[in-house]
Amino acid sequence: MKEKLLEGKKYGLIVMLLLIILDAAAVVGIVMSGISLDERVTGGAIALMVISIVWISLSWVLFLGLKVLKPQEALVLTLFGKYVGTLKGDGFYFVNPFCTSVNPAARTKLSQSGDVDGGAGIFKLKAGQNDTTAELTNKKISLKIMTLNNNRQKINDCLGNPVEIGIAVMWRVTDTAKAVFNVDNYKEYLSLQCDSALREIVRIYPYDIAPNIDTTGDGIADEGSLRGSSEVVAGRIRDEIQSKVEDAGLEIIEAKITYLAYAPEIAAVMLQRQQASAIIDARKMIVDGAVGMVEMALERLNENEIVTLDEERKAAMVSNLLVVLCGNHDAQPIVNTGSLY
């Protein structure tokens, strides 16, 4: 199905004024024919009255062909089940009054912009009225950029660790015919494809950097991860969703990761693992610094010939310095007032 734009239909105001004038003329015709019939019965008066009454009775049908569109709105029209075309752009239009507008997603409410607070034109009666719902459905299709916030999902990463992740997808309708006729409900279709694409991409990456993991598919291990490569992951999710909704006439503008965390059942364990890794890294840095300081101290003592130490005394000095520099608490000094030997 290919979108067909209806051009040259922006004469709704002229048609509306003409219909109002003809209706007024029909009312005047009924009044004048009634006056003539009171005086004497004539064929012309009877014909005028019949024509005026018929016009008044049927003219309302033509008013159904008047359509008003605001900026970034579209209307898909069908005539007796056949696709006629699409109205796009703001203006006052007049089309065949027997055309009907189609939008299967008009009543669909997702957690997205434009669908909160009954944005699609659905009004409910107050409670206590036999649970009756009065629906006034707007069949217009919005061409604006929309934001879809799907629910957070629990997905296993490539290492099997369950993570919770949520995304926000910016999208819009580009082909109204495909959106209406190629899929049953393009909003629900988009939501399901977002969930599917998210699962496919997340399963490729580990939550954090892990050794011997190939996330690009080139057979070479890399440092890709959900936490450290969020922009790359979001880009791949966007491309994956776009490939799935192409036939629905939708364009995915951007995808962003809005929430990322380990699942609650393993969050505490993973936190301990991260803390242990951080402690090890800190200890390595402290040891490297302490060894450098000991080397510098021995070199300075030898250069200035302050004191001559044998290997045993050097070992004792290195041991003491490392204890002082690498200890968790301040060292308690012991002053030796006797001989060094």
pTM of the model: 0.70
Q: Are residues 240 and 150 in the same domain?
A: yes
- Is residue 6 helix, strand or coil? coil
Do residues 156 and 203 touch, judged by C-beta distance below 8 A? yes
Which band of pLDDT confidence, cut at 50, 70 and 90, is reported for residue 38? low
Q: Are residues 44 and 155 in the same domain?
A: no
Q: Are residues 150 and 258 in the same domain?
A: yes
Q: Are residues 148 and 256 in the same domain?
A: yes
Beta strands at 162-173 and 250-262: parallel, antiparallel or unpaired: antiparallel
Q: What would the DSSP string read from start to end of 260-299?
A: EEE-HHHHHHHHHHHHHHHHHHHHHHHHHHHHHHHHHHHH
Q: Please give the pLDDT value at position 267.
A: 64
CATH number reported for the structural domain that contains residue 181 in this entry: 3.30.479.30
Name beta bridge partners: 164: 154, 261
Q: What would the DSSP string read from start to end of 194-263?
A: HHHHHHHHHTTS-SS--TT--SSSSSS-----TTT-HHHHHHHHHHHHHHHHGGGTEEEEEEEEEEEEE-
Q: How far apart are CA 260 and CA 152, in angstroms?
A: 9
Q: Are residues 210 and 232 in the same domain?
A: yes
Q: Are residues 257 and 273 in the same domain?
A: no
Q: Please give the pLDDT value at position 194.
A: 92
- 156: enclosing H helix or E strand: strand 153-156
% of the chain exceeding 90 in pLDDT: 30
Express each pLDDT in 287-300 by its tens digit: 888 788 878 877 77
Mean pLDDT of the chain: 80
Domains in the chain, number: 3
Q: Please give the pLDDT value at position 6.
A: 87
Residue 51 lies in domain: 12-101
Which band of pLDDT confidence, cut at 50, 70 and 90, is reported for residue 39? low
Express each pLDDT in 147-178 by its tens digit: 998 888 888 888 888 889 999 999 999 999 99
Single out the residue of 224, 75, 70, 63 nearest to residue 158, CA to CA: 224
19: number of CA atoms within 13 Å, CB side? 18
Q: Is 261 left (phi over 0), alpha (psi -120 to 50) or beta?
A: beta
Q: Is residue 108 part of a domain?
A: no
Q: Are residues 153 and 239 in the same domain?
A: yes
Q: Are residues 181 and 258 in the same domain?
A: yes
Q: Please give the pLDDT value at position 171.
A: 94
Asked if pLDDT for residue 127 goes beyond 60, the answer is: no
Give me the sign of the Cα torsion angle 77, 80, 81, 83.
negative
Q: Is residue 136 part of a domain?
A: no
Boundary residue ending a domain (235, 262, 289) = 262
Do residues 180 and 103 touch, judged by C-beta distance below 8 A? yes
Q: Are residues 280 and 255 in the same domain?
A: no
Least confidently predicted of 93-97, 100-104, 210-214, 309-313:
309-313
Q: What are phi and psi of 317, to 5 degrees?
A: -65, -45
Q: Please give the pLDDT value at position 37.
A: 62
Q: Please give the pLDDT value at position 340.
A: 53
Angle at CA of residue 163, ends 158 and 166, nearest 5°? 115
Asked if pLDDT for residue 47 goes beyond 90, the answer is: no
Cβ neighbours of residue 102 under 8 Å, at least 6 residues apart?
A: 76, 77, 78, 139, 180
Express each pLDDT in 56-105 by its tens digit: 888 899 998 899 999 999 999 999 989 999 999 889 999 999 999 999 88
Q: Please give the pLDDT value at position 21.
A: 93
Which band of pLDDT confidence, cut at 50, 70 and 90, is reported for residue 112? low
Beta strands at 73-79 and 100-101: parallel, antiparallel or unpaired: antiparallel
Q: Are residues 295 and 215 in the same domain?
A: no
Express each pLDDT in 7-22 by its tens digit: 878 888 899 999 999 9
Beta strands at 100-101 and 91-94: parallel, antiparallel or unpaired: unpaired
